[in-house]
Structure formats: structure tokens, C-alpha cells
Amino acid sequence: MQPTSRNFPQQSRDALADEKLQRAMGMMKVGFVEKRRAAAEGLPEFEALRDKARDIKNEVLANLDFYLERYADRVEAAGGHVHWCRTPEEARQAVLAICRRLDARTVTKGKSMIAEEIALNDFLEKNGIEPVETDLGEYIIQLRNEPPSHIIAPAVHVLKSQVEELFREKHTELDPNRVLDEPESLVAEARKMLRQRYFDADVGITGANFLIAETGSSVIVTNEGNGDLTQTLPKAHIVVASLEKIVPTLEDAAQILRVLARSATGQEFSSYTTVSTGPRRAEDPDGPGEYHVVLLDNGRSAMLGTEFQDMLRCIRCSACLNHCPVYAAVGGHAYGWVYPGPMGAVLTPTLIGIDKAGHLPNASTFCGRCESVCPMRIPLPKMMRHYREREYERHLSPPAARAGLGAWAFFARRPRLYRSVALLAARMLGMLGRGGAIRRLPLAGGWTAHRDLPAPAGRTFHDLWRAGER
Amino acid sequence: MSGGRDAILGSIRRSLGRGPLSGDAAAALEAKLAAPPRGIIPRRVQLDPAALVDLFESKAKGVNATVTRVASADGVPDAVADYLAHENLPASLRMAPDRGLDDIPWSKRPTLTITRGPSDGSHEVGLTGVFAAVAETGTLMLASGPDSPTTLNFLPDSHIVVLRASQVVGPYEAGWDRVRATYGSGSMPRTVNFVTGPSRTGDIEQKIYLGAHGPRRLHIIVIEDGEAAPPAPDGA
């Protein structure tokens, strides 16, 4: 998808005014936060496992070349093929070549953020191949012709009533008078509509939550079972995954899996966690005849050794999104590209450039909740601040912001002048603020348009401190 | 695509500021891959075998599986037939060719129609064994192979699983020990499915509904065969 992150300010204003979206986000907010808290409290080893998960990933990143080579060797030893792709275009072409060779008409898809990142669906359609999303959330947004708004719950912005309207509009072969009041009937309908598509598909494409160097395995974590049907029934299974998904051993995967579902949905383990290695063996009664891994770089190798390396620890759990007050207020589409919320605020400028995505690291109050819940202990606010610094250095921040910061810096370097001006300002604001609050302030319309500013109540902090009132 | 491989590895090494790993550094990593160290094992699974079976049962029930215990293989046909009757399901099963299911006296319930093999989607009820069962979260480990078609785990609407108490382990890591012992170090079956409860989705307004694409019912029958599982290693 073409990034529209440049329009974040307008997109977020539109989101705030969107009544249906606000209702949907209201439901999301409470559910995920409570469930994650309960799950974390239910495992005494949870905090120690977060540290362990961080350490496992740091060690992988320091030795990423070694582990990738071992991983690729093991995949090939098991009868699979690895396609090393530097760019989204190389990855798309690798997938297309496999589909063409197998004369694929339709491909089923498990949920994959990498597939979104390389805009795979549009590309397949342009080349005469029909992609069928099987994850219920992805299926819903595919029918609505829009991108996902959350990295694990793609249709979190859609209300049940909207799903019902959508299914009535699109599932034209079903009885138009059927009752769809209960959400169960919507789930059952999607199950029925998709069942035959699994069998018809020539190729199945999934992402990977982990790639395991020890055995050359890919791991998918789902609840629906759609990923498993996608990868088992067709002639070929293609895994699309980025480089940093590697972990060294099966034990390492188990360590991180213990914090993944708990951080994401509050489950102790997802309904289906599947570890796949190579194609069907000669003696297997079912399974795909071919197994391919499309391994994507797209900027990850360049992140190593920089102040953004920690972002490569991300396991796409969505805890940061679920706890972010900004994401909860505006939803994922406002961010304008594949990755929303705090992790998107760091990853998007890294992948598409700070000039196109500069608003995103600024869309934060640095409340720090994201970092406090990240299972991989990624310092998200720190990296957002790096981006703000870079923006400032490259003169990309808005002129008014630069002028304001420049003025404040002038006074902050002259402490006595700062204190006198602060005292004067406090006295003037005190006079302006009748009844304890300032409703409108010239030059600060951006703030006071939506909020009252509490009026200063007399003496400055410096004054009180000097007078010994601590 | 060796051009891509070399370019990507080169880019990684440039960013890390070094050439390919060799000597002691590489040897240490090879040693780790050959003998993977265990990480943190939750205290909740440091239990004796009987207590692990109890933990497994309680965790499995917590994720909407149903669980029945029988004293021996003799009790399985009745347990299966009773379950199907109770759920108003036809007395007809598609069963895995798993040799572990052969010694169950299915002829005790002659009205149960049984065929064996993978599923093509036309079966309402599938019945399989397991490779192992992980008590930590009530999780089944199913390994693909001639005995255990993957399609049987996902296509039928209802999935009945027959496992023995001796197949229950504590943490996932103990399951991996068994995989390595069975398939050899570094060698894997095509698929290991970890199944924790029936299929579900929360994609419509955050509420959970069962039976998204995989089975909507998961029924687990535990044969208390009295054989102790190998003792759990220390958590270190």
C-alpha cells in the first residue's frame, strides 16, 4: 500500500470524528489491557522470561549472519528452498515465480505483515492470481478493500453490525433473508465460505512468527486454524518472513512463546502453534509437495549496529498498540502504513524514511506504557526521540516548532533571565485566568482550542524552593 | 539466488563491523545448536507425574477442551460412544492410522463406524492419538507422519484425542526432548502442531467464538496407564 503517513494530522482528526471507529476502539482498549495483565500475573516467571527473551534476541542479532546461514542449510537439508530477497520487489517476484511454475489460479493466505509490507496481494492480482485471505479479520478487510488497522486483529476497527452488512452484500449466493443477528452465525458463515477455497488453492502463503536455525523450521501462531489449512492442503507452502525472525533453538522459541500470547491476547498459548520443517515426506499421508521460504531484508540488515537495532527484537505481539493512548484514540489507519501504534512509530520511518513518516514519532506523549509492556523490552520512546532529534537536525520539523524550541533554549541557557521572565509570565497568566482556568490564549490556540489551561496560582517553583518550602 | 544470499550476509557483516564468524566464536555457537541449553522452566510444572496429569486436565478444560479419564484402553470405546451420543453427533469416526490406537477394543461398541486415514473434509468427527501432551498449558503435541495425518487435526468439526498418562510432560522443552529422541538430533517431522483447545476467533468486537476454521470441539480421553513419565529435569 502507498504510505499516507504524511497525512497523519488530518487522518487522526478524521478518526476522532468517526463515531463507529470510536465505538470499536473503545471495546479494544479494555479487553486487551485487562487480559494481558491477568496473564502476566498468572505466571511468576513472566518478568524473568521478558529479560530472557530480550537476551536471546540480542545474541541472535549479534550473530545474525551465522544463524541465517545455519537456518538456510537446515531448510534445504529438509527438502525446502530459501529465497534470499533484498527488496520487496525481489520478494514479490520470488513468490510469483513459484505460483507461475505451479500454474496457480488462487492462493490462500494466512495473516502476514510482511506480505502487507511488500504489497503482495495487489501484485498477485495484477498478475492474474487471486489471493484469498483466510484469517477472519483479514477476510473482512479484504472484502472491505482496506488495509489492516492492527497487527494481530486486522479488523479491530469494524463493528459487528458492519460485518453483517458486509456479508449480506458480498455473500450473494446465500439466502438474503437469513438471520445474522448472532456473531456466531457470522463466524460460521465465514467458515463455510472459506472451506472450499482451502481445497481449491494451488499455493498457500503464510508468515512466520519465528524461524528456527537449529532445525530449519518456521513457526506460526494462530487461533483459528486457518494458517494450518493454508499450509497443509495446497501443492506448495510459501513462508514470507523477514530476517530478524530467526531464533537459535527450539528451546529459545519456547522461551519467547511463553511471553508472546500472554502479551498479545492474554492467552497462555494460542490455540494453534505450528512448527513446520520442509515439504511432505515420502511416507506422509498429507502436506504440501513444496516448501519455500522467502526471506526478506528490506532494511533490516542496515538497522544493525545503529541506534535502532533494538527494534529488530520486535515479535509483533501488539502489546504496545493495545496500551497506547494515541493508538486507542485514532486507530491504525491514521498511521498511514502497515505498522501502526508505537512500534509503527519507530519501524515506519526506519523502513520508508523519516521524511515520509515524520509525524509518527511525534504522535506520542512519551507516557512509556509501550515500553513497560513490551515483552522484548524495546525502548520505544527512546527511539522515537532519536527520530525527533534527526528531524530537528534535518530541518524537517515544522518551522513554528523550531522557533518555539529555539526561543525556549535561548532563555534556558540564561537562568536568571529565565526566572525573571517565568515570574512575569506567571503574574500575567494569573491575571488572565479568571476562575482558575484560562479558556483562550493568544499564540497557544492549538492547546486552548480543546482544553482549558490551569491558571498559575501565585509564586513560581524557583521562588518556593528558594524560600525553603519543599 | 546466491546473489541475494551473499549481498544480504555482506550487508549484515558490514553493519556489525566484522567478517564471517570463525574459530572459537563459531565453534561456541555450533556447540549451542548441537546441544541446546534449557532456559527458564516455570515452577508450575515441577510436579510428579500424577500431578502433571491433573494439571494438564485442568489447563485443557480452561481453554474449552473437554476431558475424560478412563482406567485403561478398555474404557475408551464407551467413552467415545458416550461422548458422541451426548453431543448429538453421528456414531461415525475418521481415525488416524496410529498404531497406538490399535490395542483399543473398538469392537466393544459395534455401532461405532470407523474408517482410517487422512481427512478430505467430509468427516464430522476425527480421532487421533498424540505425540505428547504438555501439562504447562493443557497443550497437545501432534507430530505429522504416516500414523498421524495433519488434516485429521484440522478438518473435522470435532476432534477426539486419545492419550496415555505416560505421554504427559511438564514443559514444552520436555516435549522437544522427546522429539529429538524420536527423530534424531536436528531432524524433525514435517509438522509439529501444538493444539491448545478448539479453534477460536476474537475478530468480531473482541468476543471469543469457537470453531473459526479448525474443530469447534476438542475432546480429550486420558488413559491412566500408570506408567511414570520420565522425571522432569531441573529447571536450571
Q: What is the pLDDT of residue B236?
A: 34
The SS3 of residue A312 is: helix
Q: Are B164 and B227 in contact (CB under 8 A)?
A: yes
Q: What does the pLDDT look like over A66-121, one tens digit per residue?
A: 999 999 999 999 999 999 999 999 999 999 999 999 999 999 999 999 999 999 99
Instruction: Read off the pTM.
Output: 0.93
What is the per-residue pLDDT across A137-171, written as a single tens digit (0 to 9) for each? 999 999 999 999 999 999 999 999 999 999 999 99
Q: Determine whether the interchain pair B200/A271 forms a contact, defined as Cβ–Cβ distance below 8 Å.
A: yes
Spatial CA neighbour of A439 closest among A428, A425, A454: A454
Closest-CA distance of chain B to residue A457, Å: 46
Residue B118 at interface with chain A, using a CB cutoff of 8 Å: yes
A237 with A81: CB under 8 angstroms?
Answer: no
pLDDT value, residue A29: 77
B190–A190 CB contact, under 8 Å: no
Q: Contact, A108 vs A132, CB < 8 A?
A: yes
DSSP 8-state assignment for residue B100: G
Q: Give the minimum alpha-carbon distance from B52 to chain A in angstroms, rounded to a whole number.
A: 17
Answer whether B167 touches A (CB < 8 Å). Answer: no
**pLDDT the model gives residue A396:** 77
pLDDT of residue B185: 83
* One-letter amino acid of A13: R
* Mean pLDDT of all residues belonging to chain B: 93
Residues of chain A with pLDDT > 70, as a percent, come to 99
Residues 34-53 of B with CB under 8 A from A: 36-40, 42-43
| C-alpha distance from B228 to closest chain A C-alpha (Å) | 24
In chain A, which residues have their Cβ closer than 8 Å to the Cβ of B42? Answer: 43-45, 258
Which one, of A370, A373, A335, lies nearest residue A150 by Cα? Answer: A335
Determine the pLDDT at residue B235.
39
Of the residues A36, A249, A281, the best mutation for testing chain B's interface (the one with the most B CB atoms within 10 Å of its CB) is: A249
The CA distance from B161 to the nearest CA of chain A, in Å, is: 15
Res A408 pLDDT > 90 = no
* Chain A residues closer than 8 Å to B16 by CB: 62, 64-65, 304-305
Residues from chain A contacting residue B11 (CB–CB below 8 Å):
86, 297, 301-302
Region of residue A366 (phi > 0: left; psi between -120 and 50: alpha; otherwise: beta): left
For A184-221, write each residue's pLDDT tens digit: 899 999 999 999 999 999 999 999 999 999 999 999 99
Region for residue A240 given its phi and psi (left: phi exceeds 0; alpha: psi -120 to 50; beta: otherwise): beta
Confidence check: pLDDT of B234 > 70 = no
**Closest to A317 in 3D by CA, of A386, A275, A271, A378:** A378
pLDDT tens column, A410-465: 888 998 898 888 888 877 877 776 667 777 777 777 777 777 777 777 677 777 88
CB atoms within 10 A of CB B162: 25
The torsion angles phi and psi of A238, rounded to 5 degrees, stand at -110, 125
Contact across the interface for B36 and A268, Cβ inside 8 Å? no
The average pLDDT across A312-335 equals 97
Mean pLDDT, range B121-135, rounded to an integer: 97
Nearest to A285 among B118, B136, B206 (CB): B118
Q: Report how far Cα A154 is from the mean position of its chain's Cα atoms.
A: 10
Give the minimum alpha-carbon distance from A223 to chain B in angstroms, rounded to a whole number: 5
Complex confidence, ipTM: 0.95
B232 and B46 Cβ atoms separated by less than 8 Å: yes
Q: Give the whole-angstrom CA distance, residue A70 versus residue A78.
A: 12
pLDDT at B2: 62
**Cβ under 8 Å to B: A residues 168-187:** 183-184, 186-187
Which residues in chain B are contacts of A160 at CB distance < 8 A?
204-205
Angle subtended at Cα B108 by Cα B83 and Cα B220, rounded to the nearest 5 degrees:
30
Tell whether A252 is within 8 A of chain B (Cβ).
yes
DSSP state letters, A88-114: HHHHHHHHHHHHHHTT-SEEEE---HH
Question: Residues B203, A160: contact at Cβ < 8 Å?
Answer: no
Residue type, A178: R
Per-residue DSSP letter, B145: B
The reply to whether residue A184 touches residue B29, judged by beta carbons under 8 angstroms, is no
A41, A228, A295: best mutation site toward chain B, by most B Cβ within 10 Å? A228
Residues A248/A53, Cβ–Cβ less than 8 Å: no
- Mean pLDDT along residues B81-101: 95
- Could you tell me how many CB contacts below 8 A there are between chain A and chain B? 262
Other CB atoms within 10 Å distance of the CB of residue A242? 24
- Residues of chain B neighbouring A24 (CB-CB closer than 8 A): 205
Give the residue from chain A lying closest to B3, CA to CA.
A84
Q: How many residues does chain A have?
A: 470
Q: How far apart are CA A117 and CA A256, in angstroms?
A: 24
Helices A136-144 & A183-200 angle (0-180, nearest 10):
90
Q: Rounded to whole angstroms, what are the CA distances from A443 to A71, A423, A446, A447, A448?
A: 58, 19, 8, 9, 10
Cβ separation of A155 and B13 shorter than 8 Å?
no
Question: Taken in order B4, B9, B15, B19, is the CA torsion positive or negative?
Answer: negative
Determine, for residues B211 and A284 on separate chains, whether the beta-carbon distance falls below 8 Å: no
Query: Is B43 close to A67, i.e. CB distance below 8 A?
Result: no
CB contact under 8 A, A272 and B199: yes
C-alpha cell at B164: 496415555
Task: Render pLDDT for B18-70 as a digit per residue (tens, 0 to 9).
Answer: 999 999 999 999 999 999 999 999 999 999 999 999 999 999 999 999 999 99
CA end-to-end span of chain B: 42
Judged by a CB distance cut-off of 8 A, whether residue B193 touches chain A is yes
Q: What is the pLDDT of residues A367-393, one digit of tens each?
A: 999 999 999 999 999 999 999 998 888
